[in-house]
């Protein structure tokens, strides 16, 4: 793996908790975000959180490297933000999507022994946890709730990948951008406010456009009252109207 990755041994300090307990708590919290159903089976959740090991990665370091073999690991983002994508032959970075704490970096390639399909670059300081797939499978056989969560995630990732490919061919860019804003809003803690943390070039690449087209479309959204924006902060005054814009544009 990349030289910037180090095994995590001393995460956040806290009263009366050992480093191992602190690490397990952070991993457990990320698992709760990724698979809320595990809250109903706390013993399995605790056992799962105790598997594997954590890694710290500095900002701009690689967490996963496209083309490298996955040696049987499932990767969960515990803390920080990551840009997923690939570099072109000329070295230009193309982001496919970004991830935050509580989301899976790679839940698929371990099962088939495949190479990592994308590179994961830390956009902030990151804590990622590596789970041994064989042990996760063992626990899944013992606990149907865990098996259901695992299969649901794999199914969702597959459906999202298909939908993303289809969107590039059948949906205009304003619709793709509006749908992306709605997804980000859903993942935020606010009913009408979100922060765009991606670099403009990365977000544009993810949505299949140029940075200039992204800027122009955001201005058009502001002028039409679909959004209000100041720097990286976005307010959506009428969420239903933005949803209606997506539906109306697709049905044309």
Write the pLDDT tens digit of every residue in 9-57.
445 444 677 777 777 889 999 999 999 999 999 999 999 999 999 999 9
The residues that bridge with 25 in the sheet, in sequence order, are: none
73 touches 131 (CB < 8 A): yes
Write the pLDDT tens digit of every residue in 21-33.
777 889 999 999 9
Residues in the chain: 252
Please state, for a pLDDT cut of 90, what percent of the chain lies above it: 60
CA distance 113 to 69: 7
Write the pLDDT tens digit of every residue in 152-194.
999 998 887 777 776 666 678 899 899 989 988 988 888 999 9
Q: For the chain, list the domains and their CATH numbers.
A: 5-154 (2.60.120.10), 168-251 (1.10.10.10)
For every residue of the chain, which 3-state class applies, written as one string? CCCCEEECCCCCCCCCCCHHHHHHHHHHHHHHHHCHHHHHCHHHHHHHHCCCEEEEECCCCEEECCCCECCCEEEEEEECEEEEEEECCCCCEEEEEEEECCCEEECCHHHHCCECCCEEEECCCEEEEEEEHHHHHHHHHHCHHHHHHHHHHHHHHHHHHHHHHHHHHHCCHHHHHHHHHHHHHHHCCCCCEEECCCCHHHHHHHCCCCHHHHHHHHHHHHHCCCCEEECCEEECCCHHHHHHHHHHHHHC
pTM of the model: 0.67
Which of 60-69, 81-90, 224-233 has the weakest average pLDDT?
Answer: 81-90
- The whole-chain average pLDDT of the chain stands at 87
What integer pLDDT is reported at residue 198 of this predicted model?
83
Residue 112: how many CA atoms within 13 Å on its side-chain side?
9
CA distance 231 to 217: 15
């Amino acid at each position: 793996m990349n030289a910037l990755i180090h095994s995590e041994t001393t995460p956040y300090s806290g009263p009366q908790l050992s480093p191992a307990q602190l690490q397990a708590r952070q991993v457990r919290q990320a698992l709760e975000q990724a698979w809320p159903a595990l809250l109903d089976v706390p013993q399995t959740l605790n056992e799962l959180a105790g598997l594997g090991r954590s890694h710290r990665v500095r900002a701009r370091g690689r967490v996963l490297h496209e083309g490298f073999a996955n040696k049987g690991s499932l990767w969960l983002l515990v803390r920080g933000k990551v840009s997923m994508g690939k570099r072109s032959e000329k070295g230009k970075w193309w982001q496919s999507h970004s991830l935050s704490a509580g989301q899976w970096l790679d839940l698929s390639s371990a099962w088939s022994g495949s190479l990592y399909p994308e590179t994961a670059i830390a956009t902030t300081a990151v804590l990622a946890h590596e789970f041994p797939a064989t042990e996760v499978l063992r626990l899944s056989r013992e606990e149907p709730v865990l098996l259901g969560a695992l299969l649901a995630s794999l199914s969702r990732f597959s459906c999202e990948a298909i939908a993303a490919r289809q969107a590039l061919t059948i949906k205009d860019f304003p619709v793709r951008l509006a749908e992306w804003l709605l997804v980000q809003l859903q993942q935020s803690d606010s009913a009408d406010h979100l922060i765009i943390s991606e670099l403009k070039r990365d977000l544009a690449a993810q949505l299949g456009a140029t940075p200039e087209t992204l800027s122009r479309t955001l201005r058009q959204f502001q002028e039409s009252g679909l959004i209000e924006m100041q720097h990286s902060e976005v307010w959506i005054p009428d969420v239903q109207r933005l949803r209606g814009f997506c539906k109306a544009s697709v049905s044309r």
